[in-house]
Amino acid sequence: MGKVYHFSKNAVLGTLVLAVTALATIIALSVAYHKERANNQSKPGNGASGTSSTSAPPTTPFTPKVPWDYYRLPKGLKPESYNVNLWPRLKPNSDGLYIFTGNSTVVFRCLKDTDLIIIHANKLNFTNFKGMHAKLSSHHEEAVPALQKSWLTARTEYLVVQLQSKLKAGAMYALHTEFMGELADDLEGFYRSEYLENGLKKIVATSQMQPTYARQAFPCFDEPAMKAIFNITIIHDPDTVALSNGKEKSHGVPVKVTTFEPTEKMSTYLLAFIVSDFISIESSTSNISIRIWARRTAIDNRQGDYALNVTKPILQFYEKYYSSNYPLSKSDQIALPDFNAGAMENWGLVTYRETALLYDPMLSSTENKEKVTNVIAHELAHMWFGNLVTLHWWNDLWLNEGFASYVEYLGADYAEPTWNIKDNNILNDVQKVLAIDALASSHPLSRKEEEVSKPAEISEMFNSISYNKGAAVLRMLSEFLTEPVFARGLSSYLNTFAFKNTVYTDLWDHLQQAVDNTPGLDIPRSVSEIMNRWTLQMGFPVVTVDTQTGTVTQKHFLLDPDSVVGRPSQFNYTWFIPIKWMKNGVDQQQYWLLDKTVSGEEWVLANTNVSGFFRVNYDLDNWGRLLSQLNTNHQVSHVHGCGSIYKHIIRHCSANKNTELSQLDQSECRNDTAEPVAVSQYSSMLVHSCVLLDKYVLGMDTSNSILPSTGGRGRHLEQNRTPLRHGNKCCLFLPTFKQPDRKISLVCYLNNKITMKTYICIIFAPLLIKTYKIPAFFAGKWIKKIIFHQNKATSLFF
């Protein structure tokens, strides 16, 4: 999640001094590094020609041999319910550790005869029962096999119980364990969060279970498809409050024993437990209790009021949009001082970073307010899509997160209709991920299950492809089906699979039913045939329209056309492409490109409103006509038309080294554009222009070093940021600003090469807008062309 930096006039001068000092330091370090590298390469044993070097011995790949060697659970047992009792200690013990103790009983059904019980458990110390880690009992008077032995596996994070005889298929059993764990500050499982209030250190016991951390809180079948009902009881100090997914039922004294209503049938990763001294504010709808929890000082300063006010209309919108009532009796949302994710959609108890839920009406910016609205809308969208109906396995994570990333704009737009917030979908999702998905190292939205099995592989799925491309592709699907048909298909899907698990093809089937039941809606292939090409192969096409010949073609777009794509595609990297277009300012009937090359009519502007997930290229004459039209009337297209055209020009120059295209005059388009969203696009484009300077002036590809602005919605973004130092490159990229009337972010991209060809690009125009109160529509006047030289680059932005 991106950070926003605010600057005064003095701060600007200080920044300039620091930038010059840093640049001089980098140059000096580069010289020293270059000399040292040259010296080292001439020494024996350092990889110089004619020498040998010592390498680490190769590691032998681990080959699973027995059931507990596999990262996926066997399919012989299915949980029905859990009774979980936890007692977190908010004061350290004699060893200085914060701990929790607990016990758990899981009732499970045996689906086929087996003499093994394999259940997830990690970082827990178990109480022994006659030398065993657990006790087994019958749930319905069945004969209970005796335990032969039990052990823990570190690699696959299991508790394994070997039985002397087999469990019987169809019978129900209960496995009881008692355990102790550490309330560590590692932001995983059941963990400890700390903060200062009035000079005193406060402790919160809280949780983060997604994707594979519930096993650190209690033994469980920790896979999304292993849904069950959870009965939670938390023991805690009388001066604290306990929260979980269900409503509180009862309390005890002298220590509090808070029990909760049983949850609905749900996955382990959606569980949450919290013990704190937080307070709440509350409102309600006809059947839902809505509470916002936070530190006392934050609530007293009314920082939770906006979240409380916006939650109700967002929930009402989703109930209408999904044609499905909110599935629970309460909606708790809590702001945590220490939280690794931006937010987490725990069912009935959503957890947030403080910056993603709290809004200070006296100090926070308008952008902070927008961020709070977006994040709340994203997480509440999951209450149905993801929680009520859950993915079968993490290889289809994009369906959960891509969907929430798309409909969050619809929910936020309903809550704040004057903001035109749906326009940000193009900036935050479509344009951002087009740059990432144009790399040969990208991956498909849906991957094979065997590619995603280890916890580390699961965590890697929380990336921009799953979130941003998922949102962009679903937006495209909604556009060509129309939103009402799309919503009807979703409603059928959610009602059919409520409290169950699905795979992506189930959604295609229900959307196809909606299409079949809509007279007059005609698509050239089935929903499945169209969408599989967008989800089962990576990347996207560039559609080239030649208005001289009437030819329309498609090709897999790569930022580096010389890169080798190592991942094969069953569709040979071709797509069924829905193209919305206009001619002479008039929208035309949607066109489908089904083959690599077809003939068509004269086209003017394709992919209007960036409705499809692809890039567009034209012959030079049509590029010129488009820019001339925008010079005459840039509002002939959607607000994103001008910025999108400029971005397409930059990308095609980058991918094809098209010098003629780069020389087209785009200055008028930039100068006349007064729309805040379009101005924001320009700052992003100029950063990408620095990439072009690298590629064609300095001869290196730094596109992977540019990280997108996080915007504040997706929790995956902070987790998956990679270091910006790569070998002999040092890069810095801070998030771009969104609108010029808001508090400003500085955009800086620094690159230093060992050959001493050095440049720095800093975009100060938005900073000047805020600092000197210059009207926003003059921003484009400062953004001037980047001047290219053969061996040198100069950037003039104002």
Q: How many CA atoms lie within 13 A of 33 on its CB side?
A: 15
Cβ count near 287 (within 10 Å): 10
The annotated binding site is made up of 378, 382, 401
If asked whether residues 19 and 81 sit together in one domain, one would say no
Cβ count near 315 (within 10 Å): 22
Cα-only R_g, the chain: 28
The whole-number pLDDT of residue 601 equals 52
Binned at pLDDT 50, 70 and 90, residue 80 comes out as very high
Residue 95 above 80 pLDDT? yes
If asked whether residues 259 and 161 sit together in one domain, one would say yes
Q: How many domains does the chain have?
A: 2
Q: Among 132-146, 369-383, 536-550, 555-569, name the most confident range.
A: 369-383
246 lies in a domain?
yes
**If you write DSSP's letter for every residue of 380-423 in order, what string do you get?**
HHTTTBTTTEEESSGGGHHHHHHHHHHHHHHHHHHHSGGG-GGG
- Given 227, 255, 277, which residue is the final one in a domain? 277
From the list 110, 58, 111, 105, the residue with the least C-alpha distance to 82 is 105
- Residue pair 583/603 in contact (Cβ under 8 Å)? The answer is yes
* Owning domain of residue 3: 1-38+674-798
336 lies in a domain?
no
**Average of pLDDT values for 355-362?**
94
**Average of pLDDT values for 342-347?**
95
From the list 714, 747, 718, the residue with the least C-alpha distance to 731 is 747
Question: From CA 472, how far away is CA 488, in angstroms rounded?
Answer: 19
Binned at pLDDT 50, 70 and 90, residue 546 comes out as confident
Cβ count near 775 (within 10 Å): 10
156 lies in a domain?
yes
Residue 513 above 80 pLDDT? yes
The annotated binding site for Zn(2+) is made up of 378, 382, 401
Which run of H or of E encompasses 283?
strand 279-284
pLDDT digits (tens, 9 = 90+) for 566-596: 999 999 999 999 998 888 777 888 889 987 7
**Average of pLDDT values for 783-790?**
31
Binned at pLDDT 50, 70 and 90, residue 625 comes out as confident
Distance between terminal CA atoms of the chain?
29
**Average of pLDDT values for 111-140?**
95
Please state, rounded to an integer, the average pLDDT across all residues of the chain: 77
Paired strand residues for 205: 192, 275
Residue 37 above 80 pLDDT? no
Binned at pLDDT 50, 70 and 90, residue 40 comes out as very low
192 lies in a domain?
yes
Paired strand residues for 290: 283, 331
If asked whether residues 797 and 679 sit together in one domain, one would say yes
Nearest 5°: CA angle at 291, between 287 and 295? 175
Determine which of 189-198, 276-285, 374-383, 748-757 has the lowest per-residue pLDDT on average.
748-757
Binned at pLDDT 50, 70 and 90, residue 671 comes out as very low
- Residue pair 26/752 in contact (Cβ under 8 Å)? The answer is yes
558 lies in a domain?
no
If asked whether residues 3 and 116 sit together in one domain, one would say no
The whole-number pLDDT of residue 597 equals 65
Determine which of 323-332, 587-596, 606-615, 655-664 has the lowest per-residue pLDDT on average.
655-664
Binned at pLDDT 50, 70 and 90, residue 21 comes out as low
- Residue pair 121/152 in contact (Cβ under 8 Å)? The answer is yes
Q: Which residues contact 672 (CB under 8 A, 6 or more apart)?
A: 630, 631, 634, 780
**If you write DSSP's letter for every residue of 504-568 in order, what string do you get?**
HHHHHHHHHHHHHTSTT---SS-HHHHHHHHHSS-S-EEEEEETTTTEEEEEE--SSTT----S-
The whole-number pLDDT of residue 612 equals 84
Peptide bond between residue 211 and the one before it cis (omega within 30 degrees of 0):
yes
Residue 788 above 90 pLDDT? no
Task: Say whether 346 sits in a helix, a strand or coil.
Answer: coil
The whole-number pLDDT of residue 623 equals 75
Determine which of 18-27, 194-203, 787-796 has the lowest per-residue pLDDT on average.
787-796
- Given 249, 277, 305, which residue is the final one in a domain? 277
Binned at pLDDT 50, 70 and 90, residue 614 comes out as confident
The residue with greater pLDDT, 795 or 17, is 17
**148 alpha-carbon distance from chain centroid:** 44
Peptide bond between residue 254 and the one before it cis (omega within 30 degrees of 0):
yes
724 lies in a domain?
yes
If asked whether residues 687 and 774 sit together in one domain, one would say yes
If asked whether residues 242 and 112 sit together in one domain, one would say yes
If asked whether residues 775 and 713 sit together in one domain, one would say yes
Q: Which residues contact 363 (CB under 8 A, 6 or more apart)?
A: none
If asked whether residues 109 and 249 sit together in one domain, one would say yes
The whole-number pLDDT of residue 654 equals 47
**Average of pLDDT values for 57-61?**
62
**Average of pLDDT values for 156-162?**
98
Enter the tokens of residue 179: 């355990």
The whole-number pLDDT of residue 469 equals 95
The whole-number pLDDT of residue 209 equals 97
The whole-number pLDDT of residue 753 equals 29
The residue with greater pLDDT, 62 or 306, is 306
If asked whether residues 86 and 142 sit together in one domain, one would say yes
Question: From CA 349, how far away is CA 622, in angstroms rounded?
Answer: 53
The whole-number pLDDT of residue 375 equals 97
The residue with greater pLDDT, 744 or 646, is 646
Residue the block writes with tokens 């890069």: 731
Residue 703 above 60 pLDDT? no
Residue 747 above 80 pLDDT? no
The whole-number pLDDT of residue 599 equals 57
- Given 277, 297, 323, which residue is the final one in a domain? 277
Nearest 5°: CA angle at 326, between 320 and 328? 175
The whole-number pLDDT of residue 294 equals 97
Long-range Cβ contacts of 725-731 (<8 Å, 24+ apart)? 728/33, 728/753, 728/754, 729/700, 729/702, 729/705, 729/753, 730/26, 731/702, 731/705, 731/706
**Average of pLDDT values for 428-440?**
87
Paired strand residues for 84: 104, 232
Q: Which residues contact 186 (CB under 8 A, 6 or more apart)?
A: none
Beta strands 147-153; 200-208: pairing state: unpaired
Determine which of 38-52, 542-556, 743-757 has the lowest per-residue pLDDT on average.
743-757
525 lies in a domain?
no
**Average of pLDDT values for 653-661?**
47
Catalogue the active-site residues: 379
If asked whether residues 104 and 220 sit together in one domain, one would say yes
Cβ count near 218 (within 10 Å): 30
Paired strand residues for 163: 147
- Residue pair 590/579 in contact (Cβ under 8 Å)? The answer is yes
From the list 278, 97, 65, 62, the residue with the least C-alpha distance to 181 is 97
The residue with greater pLDDT, 632 or 452, is 452
What are phi and psi for residue 105, nearest 5 degrees?
Answer: -125, 120
Binned at pLDDT 50, 70 and 90, residue 302 comes out as very high
Q: Which residues of 604-623 are buried (b: 16+ CB within 10 A; e: fewer)?
A: bbbbbbbbbbbbbbbeeebb
Q: Express as a percent the part of the chain with pLDDT over 90.
A: 57
Residue 447 above 50 pLDDT? yes
The whole-number pLDDT of residue 630 equals 64
Enter the tokens of residue 437: 């998905």
538 lies in a domain?
no
Residue 321 above 50 pLDDT? yes
Beta strands 330-336; 349-353: pairing state: parallel
The residue with greater pLDDT, 421 or 223, is 223
- Residue pair 350/375 in contact (Cβ under 8 Å)? The answer is no
Determine which of 130-134, 364-368, 426-430 has the lowest per-residue pLDDT on average.
426-430
Task: Say whether 353 sits in a helix, a strand or coil.
Answer: strand
From the list 226, 214, 228, 208, the residue with the least C-alpha distance to 121 is 214
Residues, the chain: 798
Beta strands 615-618; 541-546: pairing state: parallel
CATH of the domain at 235: 2.60.40.1730
**Average of pLDDT values for 65-71?**
95
Task: Say whether 651 sits in a helix, a strand or coil.
Answer: helix
The whole-number pLDDT of residue 143 equals 87
- Residue pair 293/278 in contact (Cβ under 8 Å)? The answer is yes
Paired strand residues for 83: 105, 231
From the list 645, 611, 688, 712, the residue with the least C-alpha distance to 438 is 688
From the list 546, 550, 482, 555, the residue with the least C-alpha distance to 520 is 482
Residue 152 above 70 pLDDT? yes
**Average of pLDDT values for 62-87?**
95
The residue with greater pLDDT, 13 or 726, is 13
If asked whether residues 96 and 2 sit together in one domain, one would say no
Residue 738 above 50 pLDDT? no
Enter the tokens of residue 513: 């039913």
Binned at pLDDT 50, 70 and 90, residue 61 comes out as confident
From the list 291, 295, 290, 292, the residue with the least C-alpha distance to 278 is 295
The whole-number pLDDT of residue 727 equals 33
Query: Residue 309: exposed, middle, or buried by beta-carbon count in 10 A (0-12, 13-18, 19+)?
Result: middle
Question: From CA 698, how far away is CA 705, in angstroms rounded?
Answer: 15
Amino acid letter for position 742: R
Residue 600 above 70 pLDDT? no
pLDDT digits (tens, 9 = 90+) for 229-286: 999 999 999 999 999 999 998 776 678 899 999 999 999 999 999 999 999 999 988 7
If asked whether residues 256 and 122 sit together in one domain, one would say yes
